[in-house]
Amino acid sequence: MRVLLFLFLTTGLFSSTAFAEKFELDKAHTDVSFKAPHLMVSKVKGRFEKFEGTFDFDEKTQKLENVFVKVYTNSLNTNEKDRDKHLRSADFFDVNKFPEMTFKGTKVDYDNGKPDKIHGDLTIRGITKPAVFDIDYNGAVNDPMGNRVLSFEAETKVNRKDFGLNWNKALDKGGWVVGDEIEIELDGEAKAAKSAAPAKK
């Protein structure tokens, strides 16, 4: 997933700094997607349409922390109804039993002062494994409504069998229907999180 994981995925990286601001993924301008090898010669592309994510970021120091992303597995879409039904079944994501997958960051590597990699815990089907997302931070601007917007891209590769997504079928001339290495990408934008409204007395 090209995980704009810079904004999409991890909690609990470091103690927050005095100048860090909380951001949340802008769902209208963010895409969480995946690619899986198919029939040994091509790739199936899909996306998750429901997700949420937050993180803290200091624009001055470019320190990234407290990244956390949650994806709702039932929202997967590969534009093929029967395939989507199979992917939601117990052969793959088993969405009735495991409705969410998450990424929680534990460490950030920097390159020339910019976030470069996020290390963390990726949980799929209730199985948690370490994962590292490569990050491209594209900068920050104000949108026409005055909101501060960050742009980013993130990606990683995982072995689906590490998370119990084991289904496969042998091809007549050798090989398998589905490859093991899955690409996960997150591309998009994040906006400064809105403060919760005060409780009414």
Domains of the chain in start order, with CATH, are 5-192 (2.40.128.110)
Question: Cβ neighbours of residue 56 under 8 Å, at least 6 residues apart?
Answer: 16, 17, 20, 21, 22, 23, 64, 65, 66
The pLDDT assigned to 1 comes to 46
Asked whether 117 and 135 are in contact (CB, 8 A), the reply is: yes
Which stretches in the chain have pLDDT values below 70?
1-18, 39-42, 174-177, 195-201
What's the pLDDT at 53?
A: 96
pLDDT at res. 40: 58
Q: Which tens digits make up the pLDDT trace of 86-139?
A: 999 999 999 999 999 999 999 999 999 999 999 999 999 999 999 999 999 998
Contact 140, 182 (CB under 8 A): no
The SS3 of residue 86 is helix
CA–CA separation, 95 vs 10, rounded Å?
A: 22
Which class for 131: exposed (0-12), middle (13-18), buried (19 or more C-beta within 10 A)? buried
- Angle at Cα 156 formed by Cα 53 and Cα 97, nearest 5°? 60
Residue 119, Cβ density class (10 Å: 0-12 exposed, 13-18 middle, ≥19 buried): middle
Is residue 163 within 8 A of residue 130, CB to CB? The reply is no
Instruction: State both tokens at 75.
Output: 């929202």
C-alpha 122/C-alpha 105 separation (Å) is 9
Residue 171: the pLDDT is 72
**DSSP assignment, residue 179?**
-
